């Protein structure tokens, strides 16, 4: 489901040190309206309808800016190309090994994964892995 938020784009930019531009605002609003874990190419296809002159490189650059500043999060690179996390709630992911579709799974359902049970939507677990993503002690002390 799309992320619901009451803060305006300008507030988000101010809080995260991002300059406000028309292209970024359209990109942000399109991304907020998207379900799932869109790739930059999927975002580009939608943004291009609103800003025909925008390039794929600009979309990539601004998605990375949003990720680096903490506006959005990146889904694990183990799932192929960069995907953007639109769900701000604690959760995990089910990834189809054939089509690479990524679906959210709640914390309470994580036990079903370990049992290799059928999950919501009929997803059949073949294997599982948990990624703990953060910053190591060395990088916390320095500016890695």
Q: What's the CA angle centered on 28, arms 95 and 43, to 5 degrees?
A: 45
Domains and CATH numbers, the chain: 9-79 (1.10.10.10), 89-144 (no CATH)
The pLDDT tens digits of the residues spanning 60-111 come to 999 999 999 989 988 765 556 778 877 777 777 877 777 777 788 877 777 7
Tokens at residue 109, please?
A: 């359902």
Task: Give the DSSP letter of residue 80.
Answer: S
H/E stretch holding 105: strand 102-106
* Three-class DSSP category at 70: coil
The pLDDT tens digits of the residues spanning 105-142 come to 877 777 766 666 667 788 887 776 666 666 777 878 87
Query: Any residues with CB less than 8 A from the CB of 14 and at least 6 apart, and which?
Result: none
| Mean pLDDT score, 22-35 | 94
């Amino acid at each position: 489901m799309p992320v619901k938020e009451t803060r305006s784009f300008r507030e988000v930019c101010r809080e995260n040190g991002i300059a406000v531009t028309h292209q970024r605002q359209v990109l942000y609003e399109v991304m907020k309206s998207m379900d799932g874990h869109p790739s930059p190419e999927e975002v580009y296809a939608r943004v291009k309808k609103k800003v025909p002159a925008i390039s794929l490189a600009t979309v990539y650059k601004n998605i990375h800016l949003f990720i680096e500043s903490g506006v959005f999060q990146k889904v694990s690179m183990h799932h192929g190309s960069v995907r953007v996390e639109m769900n701000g709630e604690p959760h995990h992911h089910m990834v189809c090994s054939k089509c690479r579709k990524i679906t959210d799974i709640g914390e309470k359902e994580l036990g079903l994964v370990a049992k290799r049970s059928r999950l919501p939507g009929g997803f059949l677990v073949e294997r599982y892995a948990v990624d703990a993503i953060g910053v190591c002690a060395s990088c916390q002390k320095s500016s890695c």
